[in-house]
């Protein structure tokens, strides 16, 4: 039986769903000869951990109770009363994680899983890499920080997996790595990597006003509470940077040209979200419609995409052919077209659900299992 000790950082929607997946897949993993041993879970304020990292684990009943506590908005501190765990807070958290990593380094090693949305985990992850930990990421921010931090994180490529940082559970990162490893140079990547913006752009194409579509997307739960978090394009820019760096581009986030779908004067610091939805958005309808009509006159459609080609790395609205994979895109799916020597005329296309806690957590779980050979003795 391969024993993989793991410590989860971040127990929001994705982190909690991951714990549910781990608990529900016990029988399957046992048949595969794998045991995922959760030795700790932490959020930004507290950590619950096993008293003995070498022999014990947080059992499934405890993990499901932890999920209930976090779903209700309560603190991990409440779990101290259940027994069978230790609770740490503040600076004690990083010290305890490093203590676990150092102890397990001599044996199987530790897997650190970052399902947070924080930029503050970079230092912790870097220290973990120094102690030969495996790192699995759903969090994009560590991979889009400085090049110095990025180089440290990817310095041991066999020990890092981050499929879920781009396209949730879709096999984007692994596909690109396989192509590059075969010596087939990738010269162009273009893709719709936001389920929200993919939905918005495919819906306005049918004649619905931009403002109406964004409000519908919000009601359906496709957007963040403030849709400007999606419409600003920064989430797509982070995904584009991760892909560009995979291709060898030595660039930072501020190197990427990002088109926001709202002007600065409608930003969160200027206009409250309710005012933006009711009064600001309708002012954008005419410009979007004009761009749609202009593209249509050329037999094309508009999509909000990331484009990486030669020295270009940009994010924004592009005109694409109606009969391309991007042009046919409907709803909230992600789609990526990869062009290389072997895929020069007909691109390799990856398409499917690219968002959602369930899909993302499943991708994280697959990444954890993908490193199991490093734990065989």
Residue 68, annotated ligand binder?
Answer: no
- Could you confirm whether 239 is annotated as catalytic? yes
Residue 224, annotated ligand binder?
Answer: yes
The helix/strand/coil state of 303 is strand
Residue 10, annotated ligand binder?
Answer: yes
Residue 14, annotated ligand binder?
Answer: yes
Which of 68, 239, 300, 330 is labelled catalytic? 239
The residue to which tokens 């088109």 are assigned = 259
Cβ pair 108, 15 in contact under 8 A: no
Cα 108 to the chain's mean position, in Å?
27
Rounded to whole angstroms, how far apart are CA atoms 191 and 167? 10
Cβ pair 126, 133 in contact under 8 A: no
Cβ pair 296, 279 in contact under 8 A: no
Residue 84, annotated ligand binder?
Answer: no
Residue 342, annotated ligand binder?
Answer: no
Residue 314, annotated ligand binder?
Answer: no
Residue 376 DSSP label: -
The Cα angle at residue 6 between residues 138 and 26, in degrees rounded to 5: 95
Q: Are strands 86-89 and 46-49 parallel, antiparallel or unpaired?
A: antiparallel
Rounded to whole angstroms, how far apart are CA atoms 212 and 180? 42
Rounded to 5 degrees, φ, ψ at 287 are -65, -45
HEC string of 20-70 equals: HHHHHCHHHHHHCCEEEEEEEEECCCEEEECCCCCCCCCCHHHHHHHHHHH
Q: Give the closest residue to 132 by CA, choosing from 161, 159, 100, 157.
A: 159
Which residues make up each annotated binding site for NADP(+)?
10-15
Which residues make up each annotated binding site for NADPH?
140
Which residues make up each annotated binding site?
10-15, 140, 224
Q: What amino acid positions are annotated as catalytic residues?
A: 239
Which residues make up each annotated binding site for L-homoserine?
224
């Amino acid at each position: 039986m391969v024993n993989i000790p793991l410590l989860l950082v971040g127990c929001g929607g994705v982190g909690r769903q991951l714990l549910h997946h781990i608990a529900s897949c016990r029988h399957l993993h046992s048949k595969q000869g794998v045991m995922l041993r959760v030795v700790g879970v932490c959020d930004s304020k507290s950590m619950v951990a096993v008293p003995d990292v070498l022999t014990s684990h947080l059992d499934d009943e405890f993990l499901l109770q932890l999920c209930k506590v976090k779903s209700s908005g309560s603190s991990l501190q409440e779990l101290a009363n259940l027994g069978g765990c230790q609770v740490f807070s503040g600076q004690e958290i990083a010290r305890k994680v490093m203590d676990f990593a150092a102890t397990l380094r001599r044996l199987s090693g530790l897997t650190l899983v970052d399902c947070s949305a924080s930029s503050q985990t970079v230092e912790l992850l870097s220290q973990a890499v120094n102690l030969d930990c495996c790192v699995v990421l759903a969090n994009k921010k560590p991979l889009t920080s400085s090049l110095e931090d990025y180089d440290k994180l990817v310095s041991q490529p066999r020990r890092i997996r981050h499929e879920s940082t781009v396209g949730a559970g879709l096999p984007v990162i692994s596909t690109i790595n396989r192509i590059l490893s075969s010596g087939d140079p990738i010269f162009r990547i273009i893709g719709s990597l936001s389920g929200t913006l993919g939905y918005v752009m495919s819906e306005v194409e049918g004649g619905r006003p931009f403002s109406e579509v964004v409000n519908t997307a919000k009601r359906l739960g496709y957007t963040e509470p403030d849709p400007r978090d999606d419409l600003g394009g920064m989430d797509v820019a982070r995904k584009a940077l991760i892909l560009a760096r995979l291709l060898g581009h030595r660039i930072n986030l501020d190197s990427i040209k990002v088109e926001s779908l709202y002007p600065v004067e409608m930003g969160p610091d200027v206009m409250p979200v309710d005012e933006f939805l009711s009064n600001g958005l309708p002012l954008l309808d005419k410009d979007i419609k004009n761009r749609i009509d202009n593209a249509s006159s050329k037999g094309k459609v508009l999509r909000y995409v990331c484009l990486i080609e030669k020295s270009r790395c940009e994010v924004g609205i592009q005109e694409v052919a109606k009969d391309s994979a991007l042009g046919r895109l409907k709803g909230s799916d992600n789609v990526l077209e990869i062009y290389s020597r072997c895929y020069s005329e007909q691109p390799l296309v990856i398409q499917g659900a690219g968002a959602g806690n369930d899909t993302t957590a499943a991708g994280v779980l697959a990444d954890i299992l993908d490193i199991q050979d490093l734990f065989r003795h």
